[in-house]
Structure 1
Amino acid sequence: MSKVSCFAAIAFATVLLSAAPSRAQDSIPGVPRELLDDIAAGSRILADLGVVDAFGHVSARHPTNPGHFLMARSVAPAQVTADDIMEFDENGEAVDARGRTVFLERFIHAEIYRARPDVKAVVHTHSPGVVPFSVSRTTLRPLYHNAAFLGAGAAVWDIGKDFGTTNMLVSNNAIGKSLASALGDKSVVLMRGHGDVTVGSAVKVAVFRAYYTDVNAKLQTQAIGLGSEITFLSAEEATKADAVNMVIMDRAWALWKQKVQAGK
């Protein structure tokens, strides 16, 4: 091969390599692209399932810097992509904003991650099914197996008790800390007149719980409307069913993720 041909071959190979997408190069240092994809997918899944509309957010704890977390810039859940994900510090402040707007209620996530080292993902929604249970004295309880995690209880948090008359938003760390305290060791906390927060050991777990909290709330409302006594899951049934759900959750996650990714 002549020197000219050799140089041409090298140049052509260089162009091909530069044009090929590289999944090894992460957009946020120390964060696998797969985690960014999961956060984006979780946001789009909840929008597709009708749990969120233009509002709501999904986050994940930073895998190599556990004091930090990852969440999208301020954008509607259905529009979130992996490239929208930003890094936030322990106080909920953007590490590298670069002019991007951020969610007002990022303090929900910051304070829950601070209070709960076991939590790896947080979801906040304005679930239409859940809101009635946040403003009434009717306790949200599991009445079918997919919502078995509710057997451990769903706390109810009222912003007015600690902060008086507000705009109902978790707009600073003090309010976020109050919410995290109400959550305690539970998987779900309802926010009076606002929505709810679910947490989990992974994005798929928090998303699963956000969806089935909404579904269970709607079913419970229907059951109440029948006007007779409701048979809820017993504590033992809930524990056993939740253990199974944690094993088979990947089936639902794969289906939901495939659907939203196909719709890009």
Structure 2
Amino acid sequence: MTQQATTPAADLSTVADLVAANHILVRQGVLDAFGHVSMRVAPGADTFWLSRNLAPGSVTAADLLEHDLDGRTQDPRKPYLERFIHAEIYRRRPEVMAVVHSHSPAVVPFSLVATPMRPVIHMAGFLGGARTPVFEIADVAGDDTDLLITSSALGAALAETLGESAVALMRGHGSVAVGSSVQEAVYRAVYTEINAHTQASALALGEPRYLTSGEADTARRTIGAQSVRAWDVWREQVRVAAGQG
């Protein structure tokens, strides 16, 4: 018998959004067999929804586990090793409602080189006008780790690197993107990947002209407010692909 999500009273539309987020991010090439996306149970809550340890393209509502800010769950099924990424960001950033951790391919190279990832397209104004922060796990845990965030201490260090930013990179590993809704976090994760690809292409041609801090902030406010438009398109694509059209 399939075990259901651990809070029977959970808002079914909220759960459905988190399931859709997993499938959207796979379809958009941000997640593959690895990576994960979570959602705070409710504004101000000290718990969050995250799937059991499962490829994101396979996640259903029945796979969602409720975790506390220590990464604990009462569900006996195996959780993700890196649930502490989500727990510690939610602990540090009470306004954050969703977190995406991915290994998206155009982003990872910027975690390895001195060239910082910066916004070059208006759709990525949420990156801000300065260098996107990079988490260096060796500074916290030495030079013999597997680069995974498998403890509260490592999660807290990553959350500190993220600070008040929308995105942080993880050297040789991937990135995290956060948002005030799951729709915003998904939008940011997708356009972080697109911006990274565009920046790398521009660097091959010459020195890019990056968005100024003012341009990035204005773009964040005007374009970010319309992130639900992208969400609606992506969610419909997932629905049709699943044969629900």
Evaluate the alpha carbon distance shift between residue 103 and residue 152 of structure 1 in structure 2; reply closer, same or farther with a 3 A threshold.
farther
Does the Cα contact within 8 Å between 1:56 and 1:126 map onto a contact in 2?
A: yes
- The residue aligned with 1:261 is 239
Evaluate the alpha carbon distance shift between residue 145 and residue 64 of structure 1 in structure 2; reply closer, same or farther with a 3 A threshold.
closer
Q: Does 1:133 align with 2:110?
A: yes
Aligned-partner Cα distance in 2 for 1:93–1:191: 23
- The residue aligned with 2:222 is 244
- The residue aligned with 1:94 is 73
Aligned length: 237
User: CA offsets, 1:172-231, max 9 Å, x none?
Assistant: 1010010001000100010000000000000011111111111111111110101x2211
| Secondary structure of residue in 2 paired with 1:69 | strand
Name the amino acid aligned to 2:96: V
Q: Does 1:116 align with 2:93?
A: yes
Aligned-partner Cα distance in 2 for 1:141–1:215: 12
The alignment's TM-score, normalised by the length of structure 2, stands at: 0.93
Matches within 5 A, 1:70-219: 70-95=49-74, 97=75, 99-153=76-130, 154-164=132-142, 165-219=144-198
* Deviation of the 1:83 alpha carbon: 1.9
Aligned-partner Cα distance in 2 for 1:241–1:57: 27
- Which of structures 1 and 2 has the bigger CA Rg? 1
Aligned-partner Cα distance in 2 for 1:211–1:137: 23
Q: Please state which structure has a larger fraction of its residues in helix.
A: 1
User: How big is the alpha-carbon RMSD for the aligned residues of Structure 1 and Structure 2?
Assistant: 1.6
Identity score, percent: 44
Name the amino acid aligned to 2:139: K
| Secondary structure of residue in 2 paired with 1:252 | helix
Aligned-partner Cα distance in 1 for 2:129–2:208: 18
Evaluate the alpha carbon distance shift between residue 143 and residue 69 of structure 1 in structure 2; reply closer, same or farther with a 3 A threshold.
same
* Deviation of the 1:171 alpha carbon: 0.5
User: CA offsets, 1:26-72, max 9 Å, x none?
Assistant: 86244211111111111110100111110010101111771111111
Aligned-partner Cα distance in 2 for 1:152–1:233: 6
| Structure 1: runs of 5 or more not aligned | 1-25
Aligned-partner Cα distance in 2 for 1:210–1:191: 14
The alignment's TM-score, normalised by the length of structure 1, stands at: 0.86
| Secondary structure of residue in 2 paired with 1:229 | coil
Name the amino acid aligned to 1:242: R
User: CA offsets, 1:59-99, max 9 Å, x none?
Assistant: 0111177111111111111111122111001101113x1x3
Name the amino acid aligned to 1:114: R
Aligned-partner Cα distance in 1 for 2:128–2:60: 34
| Structure 2: runs of 5 or more not aligned | none
| Secondary structure of residue in 1 paired with 2:21 | helix
Aligned-partner Cα distance in 2 for 1:94–1:27: 9
Higher RCO by CA contacts (8 Å cutoff, separation 6 or greater):
2
| Secondary structure of residue in 2 paired with 1:118 | coil
